[in-house]
Structure 1
Amino acid sequence: MYLTTMYGGEFMKINKELLKGSTTVLILSLLNRKDMYGYEMIKEIELRSNGIFSFKEGTLYPILHNLENANYIEAYWDNSTGARKRKYYKITECGKGILLEKESEWKLFSNTVNSVLWEAKLCLV
């Protein structure tokens, strides 16, 4: 299955499995910066990825539920802005540890793929 997106003025296909394997680190990374509600995460991921990554609510909320069950994030309700109540998510200490692991895995993985694709020397940072 592919995700079709606009990149550099052209439509490109990205295998959804590539994004699927990155969702945990993307969400935890956002929540490590600040607490967010679901729709805010969707928009932030779209913005930071220049529209390449686009989550539907039906995709994001099951992921958030799984992260909450794993104790990587916690949810709470807030209506302090005077607007309607919103369910916010925040990263837990356990989630911060997992984020560090996932970031290290990602660096190794992306450096390795890049070294194979572009014949660069592997840089283990």
Structure 2
Amino acid sequence: MNPEMLKGHLDAIVLSVISSGAGYGYAIMKEISSRSQSMIELPGGTIYPILHRLENNGLIASNWATAPSGRKRRVYTLTESGAKQLRERCEHWKTFAAAINMLLLEPVKSRN
């Protein structure tokens, strides 16, 4: 997928994945890939700055957890502010997508 098309939507995508349950960076990247049927593949260099920004803005929170392997990793959860932001972004997306679909996918109506 063209990375330019994702600009402005990555925060909402990450919030949506985190809203499904707490996760750590690599798991969030894999879930995005899985849910998009591998059409969206985000590298670590993209996901971690997004996670830090969302946390700095109070939309997600993080805690350190120990994985079954014994490795420590940062686990992210959605805050109330993040849940509100996600709902708002979903509503904006529905309106935007409907407008784009009308413009690009609806047949051109002939003028009388």
Q: Which residue of 1 aligns with 2:33?
A: 46
Distance, in Å, in 1 between the alignment partners of 2:48 and 2:67 is 23
Mapping 1:1-125, distance limit 5 Å: 14-79=1-66, 81=68, 83-119=70-106
Distance, in Å, in 2 between the alignment partners of 1:51 and 1:34 is 20
Distance, in Å, in 2 between the alignment partners of 1:51 and 1:60 is 16
* Superposition deviation, residue 118 in structure 1: 1.4
2:100 partner letter: V
**Higher strand proportion:** 1
Distance, in Å, in 1 between the alignment partners of 2:37 and 2:45 is 21
What TM-score, normalized to structure 1? 0.80
Of 98-107 and 21-30, the range deviating more from structure 2: 21-30
State how many pairs are aligned.
Answer: 107
* Superposition deviation, residue 33 in structure 1: 1.1
- Radius of gyration: which is bigger? 2
The alignment yields a C-alpha RMSD, in angstroms, of 1.4
> Larger relative contact order (C-alpha < 8 A, sep ≥ 6)?
2
What TM-score, normalized to structure 2? 0.89
Deviation per CA, 1:90-110: give whole Å up to 9, x if none: 110000000000000111111
